[in-house]
Amino acid sequence: MKLTRLALSGFKSFATPVDLAFDEGVTAVVGPNGCGKSNISDAVRWVLGEQRIRLLRGLRMEDVIFHGSARRKPVSLAEVSLIFDNGDGGLPIAYHEVAITRRLTRSGLSEYLINQSPVRLRDVQDLLSGTGLGSDAGVVMEAGMIDRLLSDRAEERRSLFEEAAGIGLYRDRKTSTERRLEKTTEDLVRLEDLIAEVQTQVRSLARQRGKTERHRQFTDERFALVMTLTRHDLAALDADGASLAAERQALAVRAPAAQESLGAREQEREARVQARATAEARRAEVERRLAAAQLEVGRLEGDVRLAGERLDNAAQRQTRAQAERDQARDAAQQATREREAAAQERAAAEAARESVQTELDRRTASEDTARQRLAEQRDAVRQLEDALQNQGATERALHAEQGVVERETADPKEQRPAGKWTRRAGPSRRGNASNARRRVSTSGPVTSCRPAANRRPRCGWSSGRPTKRRPRRPLDATPWPSWSASGWGWRRRRGS
């Protein structure tokens, strides 16, 4: 057996793969300090299975991987291989060349290979045992090992000589055998404990076996009794079956009559179901007609209420018109004639309202007639409203003309009585600029307040009480008869 090559890749300072060949004779590695000579001996020791990182001059096992330099990047795998020539069969393996390889990654994964086949560390140690290539053998001679050879302690010298003589293999086998014997002794002790425990269980199982046999005997006896009772029951059932067969024959004779009776009852039931369905349909139709009639009655009642409300509104407007006509009685004779015409129209409206009420009473009997009457009543009410509005406009125009006539017939030079000036009721609703303040005398006609050339007009409040403002006109009512295009007129105060 001879060492032929040493291959290193990523181990310590060997970043790139390096292959060192060992020829015949002595191979020496020479170089300055720090060039990596010791890394070769560390690689040999590491590939042979060295686990003590202190002997490899490191703190952790990952320190054997190249960490990088200023020009090179770090690597993630360290691999060292020892190639032996096994031509003489020194290694107990059937290969002419044997390569022992060890790999280590930065993740902590370590593996051993023999001729690129994964093996255990124990397999490597067994392969190299007896050859003097163990990790504890004198493969690498250091200064510390020379000190151990020269030491006075016989134990240290003996261990080195035994390793060199190949006794370490047998010592390891002895140690492993003693370990196995100790383990076997422990197994025997455990086996004795198990035997004692099993014997206890055997006695318990013997008692259980006796109980089981008695239970089986009792079960057989019980089965025999059950079979006897079952035979008696079968005989009774056979007798019952014969009686039931006779009864079945009698029922078979009566079956046709029963089927005919059943068919008749089925027909009667179907007739009742059809009659019930017809009654349900009639009831649904009656309910539908009743609902339609109720809807129609509700709609007619709503129309009646609407017509009543409109009649009430017409009556209210007629009442307001009557009041306006009462207030306009003091106007001109022409206005009196117009009021008489309005009274006639009001009488006509009352008659129309009575006719409408009569028509509404008759509408409950006939829907078409009620609709036609309602349309006629609406037209009559609309015409009445138009007539009332026209009458109000006519009365306002007449009142305006009357005011103009009174102002024209008044004496412009009449003296203003002392203490008889009053203020008008309010500004014009239409915002007419001609509505100025008026003065009213207790005895004379209404005169205009005309200011002098160089002084302000002295119209306004008098020493007496002002006239009372007219009440506000409702929004839906006809205008007051005294309203004119120039604003509210003024009346002479009665009394002094």
* Residue 105 structure tokens: 């990654």
- 275-280: average pLDDT: 89
Strand partners, 101: 81, 113
Checking 475-480 for CB contacts under 8 A at 24+ apart, the result is: 476/313, 476/317, 477/317, 477/320, 478/317, 478/320, 478/321, 478/324, 478/388, 478/389, 478/391, 478/392, 479/324, 479/392, 479/396, 480/324, 480/327
Strand pairing class (97-105; 110-114):
antiparallel
Evaluate if residue 494 carries a pLDDT over 50: no
Phi, psi angle pair for 492, to nearest 5°: -75, 135
pLDDT in tens, 52-106: 888 788 888 888 899 888 888 999 999 999 998 888 888 888 888 999 999 999 9
Give the global pTM: 0.37
How do residues 278-321 score in pLDDT, each as one tens digit?
A: 988 888 998 988 998 889 888 888 888 888 888 888 888 888 88
Mapped onto helix, strand or coil, the DSSP state of residue 448 is strand
